[in-house]
Amino acid sequence: MISRRRTALAAVSAAASAVFVLTGCEPGSLDDLAEGGGGSSGSAAADGRSAGPLDNPDGTKPGLAPVTGSAERDEARKLIEEVSTKGRGPRTGYDRDEFGYAWMDTADGVPMARNGCDTRNDLMKRDGQKLEFRSGSDCVVVSMTLADPYTGKDIAWKKREAMEVQIDHVVPLSYAWQMGASRWPEDKRRQLANDPLNLLPVEGRANSVKGDSGPAAWLPPHKAVRCAYAVRFAQVAAKYEMPVTAPDKSMMLRQCGA
């Protein structure tokens, strides 16, 4: 059993390494991720600074708090069960620019659009604490404290160390492309890329390790939010009428007790 697990992890690690060669990201330890490493004992995501996904269907509230209690977990599984499945298509033709430039304020049809502040700063303002802004601006965040949902850690962030916090697309854009977004109209792709429901400021390293993985290949190191992460993935898929792979759906259900 242990041998099979190590073999599986080695295969995932090799695939992840290939992604990082292409993207320039440095892979972290997938053993740590598989065991819930890093911040699994942290409490940042559960101390009142984050909203649970079931209470935050439009993504305008901060963070990603754990799904707790049998009733909530039952609701979570029902939501995930409604998501359809299909095989992952080719990545051919994918380019970040197919989803609009990053980070646009003009993706009509999603919360926070056309408010005079770009999507990245909207998300920093939504999730950050102890915010400081650039002189003369009420938009550009230059310093904050983030309760990172993926690791459970508090991150004291400053703009001069910008990559320490990255904005994660919960459903990665490349994943969406392979699951049908390649055939969507351009405005729908722009919405997905800038929808606060699909966006979380998180630790940069955790985001880089995730790459364009679905839940079957990557889950947050902080075990307490794994069901919440599965719910948010399902919420995005349902909103955009996008299927997920069968292994991803199975893993999502497992995180919520199925």
Cis peptide preceding 103, ω within 30 of 0: yes
Among 239, 228, 181, 177, residue whose Cα is nearest residue 202 = 228
Higher pLDDT pick, 14 / 232: 232
Residue boundaries of the structural domains of the chain: 2-255
**Number of neighbouring beta carbons within 10 Å of residue 163:** 10
Q: What is the mean pLDDT of residues 2-18?
A: 41
Query: What is residue 142's three-state secondary structure?
Result: strand
For residue 129, give the H/E element and its range: strand 128-133
pLDDT at 47: 53
In tens, the pLDDT along 117-156 reads 999 999 999 999 999 999 999 999 999 999 999 999 999 9
Judged against a pLDDT cut of 80, whether residue 227 lies above it is answered with yes
pLDDT at 49: 80
pLDDT at 137: 96
Name every residue whose Cβ is closer than 8 Å to that of residue 143 and which is 6 or more positions away in sequence: 130, 131, 132, 157, 158, 159
Handedness of CA 182, 100, 18, 208 (dihedral sign): negative
In tens, the pLDDT along 16-59 reads 333 333 333 333 333 333 333 333 333 344 456 899 999 999 99
Distances in Å between the alpha carbon of 108 and those of 119, 199, 219? 12, 16, 30
Using only C-alpha atoms, what is the Rg of the chain?
17
Higher pLDDT pick, 9 / 177: 177
For residue 209, give the H/E element and its range: helix 204-210
Higher pLDDT pick, 166 / 15: 166
Enter the pTM of the model.
Answer: 0.82
Q: Could you give the maximum distance between any two Cα atoms of the chain, in Å?
A: 59
Q: What is the mean pLDDT of residues 220-246?
A: 98
pLDDT band at 247; cut points 50, 70, 90: very high
Judged against a pLDDT cut of 70, whether residue 3 lies above it is answered with no
